[in-house]
Each structure stands twice: as C-alpha cells, then as structure tokens.
Structure 1
C-alpha cells in the first residue's frame, strides 16, 4: 500500500452542477515536524486567539513607548 499524497484536487467539470474541491490527507505514517506541531498548537483554537491578542497588545505597547520616547526627545525644550 502506497502512502497518500497531500494536495488539492479541484474538479470543476464533473457531472455535478456544483464545483468540488477535495483535500487529500497526509498519510498517518508521516509525522509532523516539531516546528509544525508547535505552530499548529500556538496558532489555532483558543490558545491561538489568546496568543494573537497578547501579541497585539505587546506590539501596541512597544509602538506606544517608542512614539512617546521619540516625541519626548523631538519636542524637548532646550
């Protein structure tokens, strides 16, 4: 038995009136790499949403602080 290939099959001109898109699953014998597993865990589901919110808040504060410090030195009285 050969492993399944992962990919997308798009069949627009079948007899059905609707377009069909099918995804082939990755074979169960193949194991995801460490980076893919961590990425999948941290970027999906409730944990993924929480990580994106925390990242957005952290980015906001970094930009705010840089703007504040820059504005302070630009508008500093001599």
Structure 2
C-alpha cells in the first residue's frame, strides 16, 4: 500500500501552489484620504481648485494692499 506516496504527492502539490498569505497592514486615515483625493480624476480637480483658490486669494490680497497703499 502506498499511502505515504499519495500523501506526499498531495503535500507537494500544496507547496507548489505558493499561496501568498501576505496581507498589507491597514492604512492610516490620513493615507487613505491622501490616496483618494490626490490620485486620478479627483486629484486633478483638487489641484485645479487649489490653484484657482490661491490665485484668487493673491488677487484679493494685492487689491487690498494696493487700496491701502494708494489711498493718500
């Protein structure tokens, strides 16, 4: 009876599968938000909105500064 051989073949097949049980550790909340907001189409929209907000704030700051400098 070849019960050892049959068990050995089954065990060898199991080892040849190379099953990877590696699971990535859970990401922090900040990292998940960063990945969601800063990649893909939503990332482009956020970057464009940020650039527009920066330009508008610089324009307003320049307008107010110019008003107070030249009001004499």
TM-score normalized by the length of structure 1: 0.61
Q: What is the alpha-carbon distance in structure 1 between the residues aligned to residue 52 and residue 24 of structure 2?
A: 40
Say what the alpha-carbon RMSD is for the aligned residues. 1.1
Give the 5 Å matches for 1:1-78.
Answer: 27-77=22-72
Q: Which has the larger radius of gyration?
A: 2
Deviation at 1:45, TM superposition (A): 0.3
Contiguous gaps of at least 5 residues in structure 1: 1-26
Relative to the length of structure 2, the TM-score reads 0.66
More helix, by proportion:
2
Structure 2 unaligned residues grouped into runs of 5+: 1-21
Shift of 1:31: 1.0
1:28 CA displacement: 2.3
Deviation at 1:57, TM superposition (A): 0.3
Structure 1 stretches of 4+ moved >4 Å: none
Q: Flag the structure with higher strand content.
A: 1
Q: How many residues align?
A: 51
2:12: which partner in 1?
Answer: none
